[in-house]
Amino acid sequence: MKNTNMYSGYRYPAQIISHAVWLYHLFPLSFRDIEELLAARVITVSYETVRNWCLKFGNRYCNQIKKSRGKLGDTWFLDEVFIKINGVLHYLWRAVDQDGDEIDILVQKRRNKGAASRFFKKLLKGQQASPLKIVTDKLRSYSAAKRELMPSTEHSTQ
């Protein structure tokens, strides 16, 4: 991070804080894993400190990582999966591009046109662009929502 003013008042230098937060958000590591990695570099930090740093600076880092991630593919694959949360059936909507990069996910209680529309709106808002083609299963909700929100996008079903 270029702005070091946001780190003023912290015991550790900006490089250590930014490295710890970067590790947490870029790799599937726990706070304790990051504590151990820093300890290997002779930096004594508790996992609670790393957690607090991630809460405070995490959004800024996530936004930077998303911007530097690169452009997504032109073909998006959309699917929904049944999951149970506390014994209640929910649907996990997910989108993946042609390279296998996960675009977004959304958990909802319904599996209708309104739910598909909310998922499409979230996808389009987060990506700032629509794909050339989407590939879905034969759920009619996808077709109805696509017709409403992305009329120029090609749609194929498998």
Same domain (yes/no): 95, 44: no
For the chain, the DSSP string reads ----GGGTT-SS-HHHHHHHHHHHHHSS--HHHHHHHHHHTT----HHHHHHHHHHHHHHHHHHHHHHT-PPPSEEEEEEEEEEETTEEEEEEEEEETTS-EEEEEEES--SHHHHHHHHHHHHHHHSS--SEEEE-S-HHHHHHHHHH-TTSEEEE-
Same domain (yes/no): 33, 105: no
Write down the pTM of the prediction. 0.57
Domain C-terminal end among 14, 43, 68: 68
Tens digits of residue pLDDT in 94-139: 988 887 778 888 899 988 889 888 988 888 887 767 788 989 888 8
Tens digits of residue pLDDT in 74-97: 888 998 889 888 899 999 989 888
Domain C-terminal end among 47, 68, 89: 68
Same domain (yes/no): 87, 150: yes
